[in-house]
Amino acid sequence: MSQGPNAAILFEPSAFDAKQPMVKGRHVAGASFLDGFVRHAEVDRYVGCAMRRDHGPAFVRQIQDTVADTPEFAARPIDVVQANDPFAIARHGCLHVADPSLPRYAWRRRYVGQRAFSITGITHTISSERVMEMLTDYLIAPVQSWDALICTSASVRAAVQRIQDDMAAYMETRTGASPRQPAQLPVIPLGVDAERFASLGSNDGAGQFLRQRLGIAENDIAVLFFGRLTLHAKAHPSPMYQAMQRAADMARPHDGGRLHLIMTGQFSSDGIERYYRDAVTPLCPDVPVHFVDGADPNLAGASWAAADIFLSLSDNIQESFGITPVEAMAAGLPCVVSDWDGYRDTVVEGETGFRVPSWLPPAGAGAGLAAKYGLGNMSYDRFIGYVSLMTAVEIEPVARAIDALARDPGRRRAMAVAGQDRARTVYDWSVIIPQYQALWGELAARRSKDAENAPPGQRGVNPLAPDPVNVFAGHATETLSFEHRIRRTMTLGEIDSLFDVEAHVYGAEAFLDRKMTRALAACFEGAPISVNQALETMPSDRRVVAARTLLWMAKFGAVTFEAPSGAVESKHQASTEESRS
């Protein structure tokens, strides 16, 4: 197998765990990506970048569990580097993070050189204040043209661009110059294991078991919603209930069966569960609504086989891609979805399903909500929930689409075949992972030729972590120069004894050890010598540490400093003498 570009994958276990309680889309996406990468990336090894020391073994275990049944992949080495070691990351050419936090790692990269490696990230939710701050930081941080934020849909790319354009406009007003956006914003969708979902969808035994358990007859039509059951952060259930009732009021399916709605997922709270259940009778009294525990893998898997139609009316700005319609297509279900976010890319109107128009109010209608959220007077959950309440999905077209599919099994089968073909040829990880590797290769080419953005200057590598000696120079009376002279005021034995006091050496790794400190002190035996002369006696790679150690010795009375030979006395001395006179 040929080898393509590789990346160190930043690994924090929960971001790649799809089995945790109250699992979210980003967790499923992370786990699915890692599994897809292991199975489809043309690489010579798997590289994890551990955020903590104990994350490295967790990465190794997760890879080993994935490749256990595949000797070809199991033979590949598994390497682990640490996230706080940019030198080690540089050996692999790219760091991939599972969120948009490129600025954080761009600052760290400056310590080893901005051309050392590329950084790629990916969008999930971008509506929170924390993530929006990350996105605006791209215009301040040393993000480069050889970095990329992978946008999972065209709509989320447009949203990212608007957020950054608004920040750029502010900065132009503030500084008179508009910063350019150096990072690439490619659109690469999330992927699925199409074969796995095809298998789930065709598991007639599991499907029949669930239908019988729920009381869904053979000639009934089961419509499935699959996802988190949270009305404020995913998809409000009322429009789905209303659409199901209207579809039930239309002509019945060709063979007289009933419509059923299966809601498979996990409730975010007891209060939310009460709403979901209490709203059924007033909104869709003629449609049985069944709630299936999405945390049970057997029931969740059986849901795909038990259903005839997939329904999801996403209406939330927290959504950016929405993987469930792709999973539904892979499982062989025609889709009825809102024309919203990533659904607009995935479901082909009239071919793999139907997309129903969605509406937002005029620009400016949400400014007051944003202000309350920005001021801390509104929680994030309320913010996105209120925006959801002013997002409309047309109900009547949903009902007509469900009715049309319910009455026409031939059309359902045709859309199912088209959907499975689309899932397999467009969204399977075997198709998506090569796009990641192609991007990493493109970014590597850019690293070799593009102009560098914001090269490090004389003021230090990272203004967010500046040299304290430089920043706080005004705190001290004097700053030691290379021309100042050093006079030793302790014997070498007395200097040795300083190391025996624990309070003197708690920061030992930042200074010379006992042996090298003694050697440094020995060089200014007798007459004072300049700081520069003393440092030249040290190996070149230890001179900065030796300079620190000179101040360490001065702190505990081992040396004193004098003005350069022939120089005018210090400002402090001069001002003291002047005051005496």
What pLDDT score was predicted for residue 568?
A: 47
Average of per-residue pLDDT values in the chain? 93
* The Cα angle at residue 109 between residues 456 and 77, in degrees rounded to 5: 155
What pLDDT does 566 receive?
62
On the question of pLDDT at 277 being above 70, the answer is: yes
Same domain, 116 and 168: yes
Residue 239, pLDDT above cutoff 90: yes
* 483-502 residue pLDDT tens: 999 999 999 999 999 999 99
CATH value at residue 113: 3.40.50
pLDDT of amino acid 525: 84
Q: Is 285 a residue whose pLDDT tops 90?
A: yes
**What is the rounded distance in angstroms from the CA atom of residue 200 to the CA atom of residue 234?**
24
Task: Tell me the residue type at 86.
Answer: P
**Is residue 186 situated within a structural domain?**
yes
Contact by Cβ (8 Å): 56, 89: no
Please, what is the Cα angle at 546 between 545 and 552, to 5 degrees? 95
Kindly state whether residues 278 and 418 are assigned to the same domain. Answer: yes
Check if the beta carbon of residue 240 is closer than 8 Å to that of residue 311: yes
Q: What is the pLDDT of residues 429-469, one digit of tens each?
A: 999 999 999 999 999 999 999 999 988 876 778 888 888 99
What is the distance of C-alpha 150 from the center of its chain? 10
∠ at Cα 290 (287, 296), nearest 5°? Answer: 160
> Helices (DSSP H) in 176-256: which residue ranges?
194-201, 204-214, 237-249
Q: What are phi and psi of 48, to 5 degrees?
A: -105, 145
Q: Per-residue pLDDT tens for 120-132?
A: 999 999 999 999 9
**Is there a single domain that holds both residue 176 and residue 311?**
no
Kindly state whether residue 167 falls inside one of the protein's structural domains.
yes
Question: Which residues in 16-32 are b (16+ Cβ under 10 Å) and which e?
Answer: bbbeeeebbbbbbbbbb
Distances (CA, A) of 290 to 204, 209, 230, 307, 331: 19, 14, 16, 12, 20
Q: Which pLDDT belongs to residue 271? A: 95
Residue carrying structure tokens 């799809």: 18
Question: What local confidence, expressed as pLDDT, does residue 256 receive?
Answer: 64
Q: Which is higher by pLDDT, 386 or 461?
A: 386
In terms of DSSP bridges, do strands 309-312 and 335-338 run parallel, antiparallel, or are they unpaired?
parallel
Least confident among 99-103, 259-263, 354-358, 570-574: 570-574
Asked, for residue 203, whether it belongs to a domain, the answer is yes
CA–CA separation, 34 and 23 (whole Å): 16
| 191-200 pLDDT, tens digit each | 999 999 999 9
Instruction: Identify whether residues 416 and 495 lie together within a single domain.
Output: no
Question: What is the token pair recorded at 292?
Answer: 């299936």
Structural domain tally of the chain? 3
Q: Is the pLDDT of residue 255 over 80?
A: no
Based on the fold, state whether residues 49 and 164 are members of the same structural domain: yes
Rounded to whole angstroms, how far apart are CA atoms 558 and 491?
Answer: 8
What is the C-alpha to C-alpha distance for residues 125 and 321, in angstroms, rounded to an integer? Answer: 9
373, part of any domain: yes
Q: Which domain holds residue 341?
A: 194-427
pLDDT at position 327 over 90: yes
In a domain, 3, yes or no: no
Predicted pLDDT of residue 94: 98
Query: What whole-number percentage of the chain has pLDDT above 70?
Result: 96
- Same domain assignment for residues 78 and 210: no
For residues 513-536, give the mean pLDDT. Answer: 93
Residue 579 has pLDDT above 60, yes or no: no
Q: Which amino acid is at 396?
A: E
Residues 210 and 348 both lie in one domain:
yes
Q: Tell whether 52 and 200 lie within a shared domain.
A: no
Are residues 121 and 179 part of one domain? yes
CA dist 30 → 43, 110, 475 (Å): 19, 27, 48
Residue 575: pLDDT band (50, 70, 90) is very low
Given a contact cutoff of 8 angstroms between Cβ atoms, the answer to whether 487 and 564 are in contact is: no
Q: Do both 41 and 177 map to the same domain?
A: yes
Confidence check: pLDDT of 577 > 50 = no
Is there a single domain that holds both residue 53 and residue 182?
Answer: yes
Q: Are 255 and 392 members of one domain?
A: yes
Tens of pLDDT, residue by residue over 180-224, are 878 999 999 999 999 999 999 999 999 999 999 999 999 999 999
- Indicate whether 397 pLDDT > 50: yes
